[in-house]
């Protein structure tokens, strides 16, 4: 395995009804992370999760999908390795636990729960058009978000 300081990065956001501009950001985030050798961790479903996985896989990366249900078939087609946790929204905590950093792209309450769990654990959080909670680093776009994550890793 690669010995990167930031080896697993979660990309979190809504699973549906996402603005195209945010989907594009998520896809670019996935690609940039994969090029750095990071495993891209998501909740495995659609929307932001699928866009991030697609970006990562397009450049040959690896994606881990932690699904809420028990059926692996619910994973989007860009998930390399799927874990059908059957734990419902408790899997949000697993997404956070697996990750060395978290990038939130837009997102609803589920995303907010992941941001809060990450901040509580001391895991760096970067947001693109997401919840502006104290502690979240705000990035204008995918490039800045990934740069912020790498900055944290180098610090």
In the complex, the residues that contact a second copy under the rule CB under 8 A are 1, 7-8, 39, 62, 64, 66, 70, 72, 75, 77, 79-90, 92-94, 97-98, 108-110, 112-113, 115-117, 119-121, 133, 135
Residue 123 sits at the vertex; the CA angle it makes with 118 and 127, to the nearest 5 degrees, is: 70
Which of residues 84 and 150 has its CB atom nearest to a second copy in the complex? 84
Cβ distance to a second copy smaller for residue 59 or 133: 133
CB of 88 to a second copy, least distance (A): 5
Give the torsion through C-alpha atoms of 29, 31, 34, 36, to 10 deg. Answer: -80
CB of 86 to a second copy, least distance (A): 5
Q: How far is the CB of 81 from a second copy (least distance, A)?
A: 5
Minimum separation from the CB atom of position 143 to a second copy (A): 26
DSSP conformational letter for 10: E
Query: Residues 6 or more apart from 12 whose CB is under 8 A from it?
Result: 42, 43, 48, 49, 95, 102, 103, 104, 105, 107, 110, 111, 114, 115
CA of 98: how far to CAs of 9, 20, 138, in Å?
Answer: 8, 27, 22
- Which residue, 137 or 147, is less far from a second copy as judged by CB? 137
Nearer to a second copy, 89 or 143 (CB): 89
């Amino acid at each position: 395995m690669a010995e990167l300081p930031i080896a697993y990065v979660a990309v979190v956001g809504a699973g549906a009804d996402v603005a195209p501009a945010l989907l594009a950001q998520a896809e670019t985030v996935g690609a940039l992370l994969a090029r750095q050798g990071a495993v891209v961790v998501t909740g495995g479903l659609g929307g932001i999760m699928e866009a991030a996985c697609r970006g990562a896989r397009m450049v040959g990366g690896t994606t881990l999908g932690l699904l809420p249900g028990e059926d692996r078939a619910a994973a989007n087609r860009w998930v390399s390795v799927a874990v059908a946790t059957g734990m419902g929204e408790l899997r949000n905590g697993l997404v956070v636990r697996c990750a060395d950093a978290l990038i939130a792209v837009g997102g609803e309450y589920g995303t907010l729960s992941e941001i809060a769990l990450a901040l509580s654990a001391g895991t760096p959080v970067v947001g693109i058009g997401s919840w502006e909670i104290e502690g979240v680093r705000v990035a204008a776009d995918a490039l800045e978000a990934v740069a912020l994550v790498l900055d944290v890793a180098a610090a």
